[in-house]
Amino acid sequence: MMRVRPKRLQKGDTIGIVSPSSPPGREELVKSLLFLEELGLKWKFGKHAKNINGYLAGTDEERLEDLETLFQDPEVNGIICSSGGYGAGRIVDQIDLQIMKEHPKVFWGFSDITFLHTAMGLYSNLVTFHGPMLGPNIGKDTFEDLSKKMFQQLFEPMELHYTEDISPLETITSGVARGELIGGNLSLLVRTIGTKFEVDTAGKLLLIEDIGEEPARVDGLLNHLRMAGKLKEVAGVVVGDFARTETEKKWTLTLDEVLDHYLKPLQVPVVKGFKIGHCEPHFAVPLGVEAKLDANEKTLTILPGVE
C-alpha cells in the first residue's frame, strides 16, 4: 500500500515545533528560528517544547501531548523536531497514531526520531522526513548550504538525486535495486525489534546511519539485525554517515571491515558514503517513498515526499 504523502508547504505556513526526545540548546534554537523565517515560514512551539526534565524535554505526558496536539492543530501545516538525544521510545507506544493518519502533515527529524518515523510508517501510513533538526543542526554555524537547500523538497514535489558530486561513494555490492526507502539511525532501528514497532525491511531499501558507536558496537547492532532476519529481506542498503566511530582499543576491526562482513554476503546492492546522518552537509530524505539505488553508477534517486 502506497504511503500518504503530506501536503506541500507554502510560504506563510506555520510549523509546529516539538521536542519528543531531549531538550534543544536554547541559543541554537533561537538561531534556527531565523532559518525558518528565511524559508518564509511562521512557527508555533508546542506548549512543553522548551521544558527540561533531566535528559528529557519534559515529562513523557508533556512530550506526548505536544506531538498529538500539534498534529491536530488546524493552524499547523507541518512539524519539525527541535532535537534528538533520547526519549522518543518512551512515548511511542502511547501515541494515538490514528491522529497522524487522519491529519497527515510534514513531519521532520532524525536520530532518536527514527523510532517515530518507523511507528508512523507502520501505523499512520505517512511519508515522513529524515532531516536536520533545529537545535543541534540548523542553529549551528556549521550548517551548510546544501543542508539548507534540502528543505525546498517540502515546498514542491521534487525527485532527489544523489551522485558523487555530493560526496565520494563506494560500492560494497553492485547491482540495481528499487524499493521503499526506510530506516534511519541503526541503534534505534535495533531497539524496535521485538516490539509492535519492529522495522519492516522486506523488499525495502534500508538506510542506516549512526554516531558515537565504535566498530565493535556497530558489529553488535548489525549482528542483531542479521539474527532478527532483517538483513536477509532487504532489497538494498544505503549506508549513511557513521560519525565519531573511533576507538582507543588496541585491537579492533575497522568500520569498513565490519560493514563488509555483514553487508557483502546479502548479495543485494549496497553503497556507502552518503552524507545522510550526523554530518554536514546533511542530505535530507523522505522515508516511505519509492527509491532506486544504482550501485553500478553509484546513484540514489528518490521520488517526491510531498503532494
Please list the active-site residues.
Answer: 111, 209, 278
Q: For residues 151 and 267, is the Cβ–Cβ distance under 8 A? A: no
Give the Cβ contact number of residue 278 at 10 Å.
Answer: 21
Cα–Cα distance measured from residue 12 to residue 8, given in angstroms and rounded to the nearest whole number: 12
Residue 223 corresponds to which amino acid?
A: N
State the angle between helix axes of 215-227 and 255-263 in degrees (0 to 180), rounded to the nearest 10.
10
Contacts 24+ apart (CB under 8 A), 55-59: 55/22, 55/85, 55/86, 55/87, 56/21, 56/22, 56/23, 56/86, 56/87, 56/90, 57/19, 57/20, 57/21, 57/22, 57/23, 57/24, 57/82, 57/83, 57/87, 58/19, 58/23
